Amino acid sequence: MEETKTSSYLETDPVGKLIMKFSVPCVLSMLVSALYNIVDQIFIGQSVGYLGNAATNVVYPFTVVALAIALLIGDGSAALLSLSLGKGDFKSAGKCIGNGIILTVIVGIIIMIIGLLFTDNILTIFGATESCYNYAKDYIQIIILGIPFYVFTSGMNSAIRADGSPGYSMFATVIGAILNLILDPVSIFIFNMGVKGAAWATIIGQIVSCIITAAYFRKPKSFTFNRDSFKLDRHICQNLSQLGISSFITQMAIVIIISVANNMIVLTGGSSIYGTDIPLSVIGIVMKVFGIVIAFSVGIAVGGQPIAGFNYGAGNYKRVFSVYRHVIAANICVGVIAMLLFELCPQVIIRLFGSESDLYNQYAVLCFRVFLGGILLCCIQKASSIFLQAIGKPVKSTVLSLSRDVVFLCPLVVALSLKFGVTGMLFAAPIADILAFICTMVLIHYETNSIKKLENKNN
């Protein structure tokens, strides 16, 4: 009865209404994660200045590496849970989540130990300059202590959503973010703790989110634990790793972009009027704001994923096309609004991160207008990649998601930096957006024709 009801619900309800229902919690969850990173930058910029923001930009890739591994385990566990429940294999369902829990705990502790032992090396790899080095070290030495909590929460919230409790998952994330938002100004402005205060505020929020996340597994909805659930099984670990690899690659692409950009700024920034620290700070801010826009874009697309996937499997290809059209239309709206904001009034965003020199503001305006000039095309590309994943094309989806960030953007950043310096580097992003958009149109056209052939065959 429940299965029939669900099938009818996904097959008959208006597509726009369904996407709204699925997308809103996805967007909110992703926005909270994006704001977690940007809140520190805002308060640090208002108190410490651009060197403090440059320091957090240097540390940011390390936290993304932790997130990538957390999602490798968490998204893989969630996918394996769904498959097990679909087969009625409740014993395996509990075991795959139990293995996921153990893996996130072990990996979180290992990453923390590596961070503590190789702090200086990490800061050097991610482009710390002499000017911001002390700020970066103060910040990362505290952030590292929260990594185990961050990995567990980020990973196992995927499992909670797969267990049918997206609201609880969002609650666990939002509580930590709100706490961070409250503690940031208190620690920075009242206790004058600077970047250290922002770091402590962050990990306190992470610890609270971790406790709430862990509490959920006392009474999960669709599975139970036994003693064997928490014994690592090589077969299960291998399966969940394969299922989570796409999420891992997507996050690691961000690390690669930031690392390449930071190091090219350090290499070429000294010969420009802006120096090294101004571009290092500004690029960090721009990447975080970019993350806010992408949270909307990806959240909308992920909301359409179960609708497209179900109807594709059921052979309702007209509704599959309708889902894609709705998702792309919403993404175009997001992209146009973001593009107008970045092109017409970037100063409004820049002022949120503190008042700096005219030279700083000049580069920041240029960065928003040029580096994010192709944001509309990027939104369409990201949403199309998720659509391909939804209809069972994970390889093409991964290729498409990597095309912009790794295949095009990173080489262009290197080439344009060496040729034209830190200003020329900014043009790498819109060029990559155009090239990735062309790839998107080719792949989507190919899949559209394939779906039409299936539709004609069924008719």
Residue 98 belongs to some domain of the structure: yes
Residue 418 belongs to some domain of the structure: yes
Indicate if 193 and 116 belong to the same structural domain: yes
Indicate if 166 and 127 belong to the same structural domain: yes
Indicate if 103 and 6 belong to the same structural domain: no
Residue 128 belongs to some domain of the structure: yes
Residue 36 belongs to some domain of the structure: no
Last residue of a domain, one of 232, 259, 286: 259
Residue 52 belongs to some domain of the structure: yes
Question: Count of alpha carbons within 13 Å of 347, Cβ hemisphere only?
Answer: 8
Of the ranges 20-34, 69-83, 102-116, 268-282, which one carries the lowest mean pLDDT score?
A: 20-34
Contacts of 400 by beta carbon, 8 Å cutoff, 6+ apart: 381, 384, 385, 388, 436, 439, 440, 443
Indicate if 254 and 277 belong to the same structural domain: no
Indicate if 252 and 284 belong to the same structural domain: no
Residue 34 belongs to some domain of the structure: no
Q: What is the pLDDT of residues 101-139, one digit of tens each?
A: 999 999 999 999 999 999 999 998 887 878 888 999 999
Tokens of 7: 């099938």
Largest CA distance in the chain: 70
Pick from 94, 90, 425, 103: nearest CA to 283: 425
Give the highest mean pLDDT range of 10-24, 29-43, 228-242.
228-242
Per cent of the chain over pLDDT 70 is 92
Indicate if 58 and 180 belong to the same structural domain: yes
Q: Residue 438 has what pLDDT?
A: 96
Residue 48's Cβ-count burial label (10 Å; 0-12, 13-18, 19+) is buried
Q: Rounded distance, CA 67 to CA 111, Å?
A: 11
Handedness of CA 279, 280, 285, 291 (dihedral sign): positive
Indicate if 249 and 281 belong to the same structural domain: no
Pick from 426, 224, 221, 394: nearest CA to 305: 394
Indicate if 351 and 454 belong to the same structural domain: yes
- Contact assessment for residue 232 and residue 241, using Cβ atoms and an 8 Å cutoff: no
b/e for 94-120, b at 16 or more Cβ within 10 A? bbbbbbbbbbbbebbeebbebbeeebe
Please state, rounded to an integer, the average pLDDT across all residues of the chain: 85
Indicate if 314 and 406 belong to the same structural domain: yes
Indicate if 222 and 285 belong to the same structural domain: no
Indicate if 201 and 350 belong to the same structural domain: no
Residue 227 belongs to some domain of the structure: yes
Q: What is the pLDDT of residues 237-257, one digit of tens each?
A: 888 887 777 678 777 877 888
Residue 43 belongs to some domain of the structure: no
Indicate if 307 and 191 belong to the same structural domain: no
CB atoms within 10 A of CB 9: 13
Q: How many domains does the chain have?
A: 2
Confidence at 306, pLDDT banded by 50, 70, 90: low
- Contact assessment for residue 141 and residue 119, using Cβ atoms and an 8 Å cutoff: yes
Please say if the pLDDT value at position 285 is more than 90: no
Q: Rounded distance, CA 59 to CA 135, Å?
A: 10
Q: Residue 37 has what pLDDT?
A: 67
Q: What is the pLDDT of residues 144-160, one digit of tens each?
A: 999 999 999 988 987 88
Domain around 125: 48-259
Confidence at 381, pLDDT banded by 50, 70, 90: very high
